[in-house]
Amino acid sequence: MTDAVEAAAGVGEELASARTALGLSVADIARQLNLRGGEGVVVFSVEEDSAAAEAGLQRGDVIREVNRQPVRNVQDFERATKEVKEGDRVTVLLQRGQQSLYVAFTVARG
């Protein structure tokens, strides 16, 4: 999935800084990379010591859902995460290579 990350590096205006409580930056490039389904956002970076990092999210993962809300692009991701705050439980459906998995975690308290 390093191709996804390298491609994300070249699309700066398409990056979303979702570094709120989740500690993630995502890129709206799944469709350009012809990923399965062509929908989702690619994790561009994960802050160290964030709840997402502790839950095992990795650079290059493709996020398909947040709290059962479909994520087709950065706007969907921002809409699904804008209300998330410290102490909330978050469930993410992601694709890592050929594998799809759910990751659930509680957003860390400051």
Identify the pLDDT of residue 36: 58
Supply φ then ψ for residue 98, to 5 degrees. -90, -5
What CATH number was assigned to the domain covering residues 2-106?
2.30.42.10
pLDDT in tens, 60-84: 999 999 999 999 888 899 899 988 8
Listed residue (24, 23, 30) closest to 4, CA to CA: 30
Number of residues assigned to the chain: 110
pLDDT at residue 101 tops 80: yes
Q: Identify the burial level of 72 via C-beta atoms within 10 angstroms of its C-beta, where 0-12 means exposed, 13-18 middle and 19 or more buried.
A: middle
The full set of domain ranges for the chain reads: 2-106
